[in-house]
Amino acid sequence: MRTINICNLKGGVAKTTTSINLACNLAEMGKRVLLVDNDKQANSSQFFDRHSYEAPGIAEVLTGKAAIQEAVQQTEFPHLDILPANMNLLAADKEILMDETVPQHEHLKRALAFVDGQYDFAIIDNAPDVSMSVINALTAGDDYIVPVKIDRFTFDGVDIMVDTANQVRDNYNPRLNFCGCIITSYRFNDVNRTGAAYLANSQYKMFQTKIHWTPKVDEASFVGKPLREYSPRSWAAKNYREMAEEYLEMIQEAK
């Protein structure tokens, strides 16, 4: 199982949208996918109608109150399961810091090991912070992808995110690979063209694929459908399919 982190310390850059649509596209390609909701806001869990305080989720898995096999739920989409989240993740972060029985950064890594053979990919939708649960996700990951939106604050959070990931790689997880930034909410205007060119010449690796802005993204989130189902002919639906293909080519070339 290859584990992909979708992360950025800045909010509003389409981390959850990217996580959901990458997961759905890989599942449509026949890959077995586990989507891990690692954000207390639980937007991915709500999207798939799996948000609950009655059933265990990632908070209980991280703190050892439930086995990951108990917490993972099937979605209505073939080949796609989810490990849901809720606000209990906030308390779990603090509890992990106090747990002396397991290294603080290894809770998620150890949990995912129990389902390693069941999935081809785990995609982690991370919160926009550097919490202990995010450190756990990076420690458990093989790759990380940083969605960015072109505006005057484009690099807010990216520098710290990459620096944090580098520290995790150097101290806990030498296999952690930066796949690159992917531009989301891209529009056909001078600002976006200039910003994309600037990013292409920056220090950061970039996906060739850009996710174009369309109102269909918000509409699809509202009705709880991936773009490939809600609006398959939209720019964003095609772009997320291209992103999945580009990612698969990337990791194939790295072998």
pLDDT given for residue 201 in this prediction:
84
For residue 138, give Cα distances in angstroms to 4, 180, 193: 9, 15, 31
Res 173: pLDDT: 98
Mean residue pLDDT across the chain: 94
Judge contact between 144 and 19, C-beta under 8 A: no
Q: For residues 240 and 21, is the Cβ–Cβ distance under 8 A?
A: yes
**Predicted confidence (pLDDT) per residue in 205-252, tens digit:** 999 999 999 999 999 998 999 999 999 999 999 999 999 999 999 998
State the pLDDT at residue 53: 96
pLDDT band for 156, please (50, 70, 90 cuts). Answer: confident
Distance CA 128, CA 23 (A): 19
CATH code for position 113: 3.40.50.300
- Rounded to 5°, the CA angle 72-76-82 comes to 25
Per cent of the chain over pLDDT 90 is: 82
Collapsing DSSP to helix, strand or coil, 85 comes out as coil
What's the pLDDT score for residue 164? Answer: 94
Question: pLDDT-based confidence at 77, cuts 50/70/90?
Answer: very high
Is residue 155 predicted with pLDDT exceeding 80?
Answer: no
- State pLDDT tens for residues 17-74: 999 999 999 999 999 999 999 999 999 999 999 999 999 999 999 999 999 999 999 9
Between 158-171 and 132-140, two packed helices, what is the crossing angle to 10 degrees?
60
> For residue 10, what are the domain limits?
2-254
Asked whether the predicted pLDDT for residue 147 surpasses 90, the reply is: yes
- Of the candidates 2, 107, 120, the one whose C-alpha atom is nearest the C-alpha of residue 62 is 107
Q: How many domains does the chain have?
A: 1
Q: What are phi and psi of 210, to 5 degrees?
A: -120, 140
* Averaged pLDDT for residues 90-114: 93
Average pLDDT over residues 178-203: 89
